[in-house]
Amino acid sequence: MSKTKQNLERSKSAEKSRAILKGAMEEFLKHGYAGSSMDKVAKASGVSKATVYSHFGDKESLFNAVIHDLAQDRLKASIDVQQSQFSGQSPREVLSAIATKMITNATQDSVVQDFMRIIIGESGRFPELAKAYVNNLAKPVIETSTQYLKDHPELEIKDPEATVRIMIGSLVYFIVLQEMMHGKDIMPLESDRLINTLVNLIIKDQDC
Amino acid sequence: MSKTKQNLERSKSAEKSRAILKGAMEEFLKHGYAGSSMDKVAKASGVSKATVYSHFGDKESLFNAVIHDLAQDRLKASIDVQQSQFSGQSPREVLSAIATKMITNATQDSVVQDFMRIIIGESGRFPELAKAYVNNLAKPVIETSTQYLKDHPELEIKDPEATVRIMIGSLVYFIVLQEMMHGKDIMPLESDRLINTLVNLIIKDQDC
DNA sequence: GTCTATACATCGATAGAC
DNA sequence: GTCTATCGATGTATAGAC
């Protein structure tokens, strides 16, 4: 077999792998792990069931690959807390912008919500996947935000990491309760009220 | 059939219902909805599968009954925020006590964690169950705590409800990240640091 | 490598004896 | 009311042709 033909075959196979990963992602995000079947994954991917098994071994391995792919690529942008794009603004503006961006992203992107549902729901049966989420998504956000607070000693924040956990926790819980658990139908709350109160708590006024 | 015999039959039937509910609860909390089978539920309950169906109709109805039972009875105590038991203490002590109790309960009781996993994980496919959780568990806690802050105007809290959401959110996220998602192995944090920072944010010092 | 066809277990749900 | 036995559908996974 010629070298070009080898590469062609290899890229075709890689294409199938991506197609399977994409189909499996849709299926798992929609129906959960136990609620998904390899038959439907094969159909959604446009390949036969045997091809799915030849590429990913078994259902658990495929689920692992899907979640890791989501945690490493697809969702990195959603939680991207780049200080660079906020440079030149006051801490108050920066914190407000980060909070607004988090809530907007999670509210508009159904993949974010489905991913959080599955990663929390399966965290008991798939602890390694939960840890991958913590390492790849939660930890970077917390550490980057903590460093930002440490870089601004004029804010006089005694415990930056605990403060960041309070901020992130408030925002995540807002998304979980209002959007994912459909709480906005029952006890609505404007996100601006939460964000303003949060920023006012963290950044104390000078005149008091 | 005599009246006493009727009552005996009725109570026997009610006993079976409770046994089924208990067995189904174990099964659903451990394996999730799709991961549970009616065969295993029957085995765990000590009755035949046909009896399970004659009492609860189908799998979905049984799941509904289990979740509602958990949300209405089993978990009410875990989130019981009774001001009465905190009377006579300062607001600072009361808030610390509430936060400590929430974290302690959720950390020690695996049923609380499994319930949160399943109610969040299935909130997309069972929105009514998520709403039942909001109405029966989240809403009462938020409203009671909000009323407490309103009853203490000397704290000068501009937006009591938003403030409560921040507090509850911080605590729930701490439990989710550290315990349920196994984050304590990766990025440990003493709960006291979170609680102290939280209370200091909400209750401003007089001397500033 | 990828397909069709199939093996074998388990699923939700029910019929019929008692 | 509760059981055993069983139905048809669907589950994961694989064998064998190409």
Instruction: Give residue A12's pLDDT.
Output: 75
Chain centre distance of CA A136:
9
pLDDT of B207 above 70? no
pLDDT above 70 coverage of chain B, percent: 92
Q: Does domain A70-203 have CATH number 2.60.120?
A: no
Tell me the whole-structure pTM to 2 decimals: 0.96
Residue B56 pLDDT grade (very low, low, confident, very high; cuts 50, 70, 90): very high
Cα B201 to Cα A107, A141, A163, B126: the distances in Å are 27, 21, 9, 37
Residue B79 has pLDDT above 90, yes or no: no
The pLDDT tens digits of the residues spanning B166-175 come to 999 999 999 9
Indicate the CATH number for domain A3-57: 1.10.10.60
Nucleotide nearest to B13 (CA to C1'): D1
- Eight-state DSSP code of residue A88: T
Contact A111, A66 (CB under 8 A): no
What pLDDT is stored for residue A170 in this prediction? 98
Tokens of B55: 């009492």
Q: Which two tokens stand for residue B61?
A: 């109805």
- Write down the domain spans for chain B: 3-57, 70-203
Q: How far is the CA of A62 from the C1' of C6 (A)?
A: 23
The pLDDT value recorded for residue A88 is 83
- At residue A127, the pLDDT reads 98
CB A126 within 8 A of CB A28: no
Task: Enter the tokens of residue B53.
Answer: 């169906």
Task: Tell me the CA–C1' distance in angstroms for B83 and C2.
Answer: 67
Substitution target in A29, A123, A175 with the highest count of B β-carbons within 10 Å is A123
Of A123, A142, A163, the CB nearest to B181: A123
- Helix A3-31 × helix A59-69 angle, to 10°: 90
Q: Can you tell me the distance from the alpha carbon of B107 to that of B100, in angstroms, rounded to the nearest whole number?
A: 10
Per-residue pLDDT, averaged over A53-67, amounts to: 98
pLDDT per residue over A10-20, tens digit each?
777 888 999 99
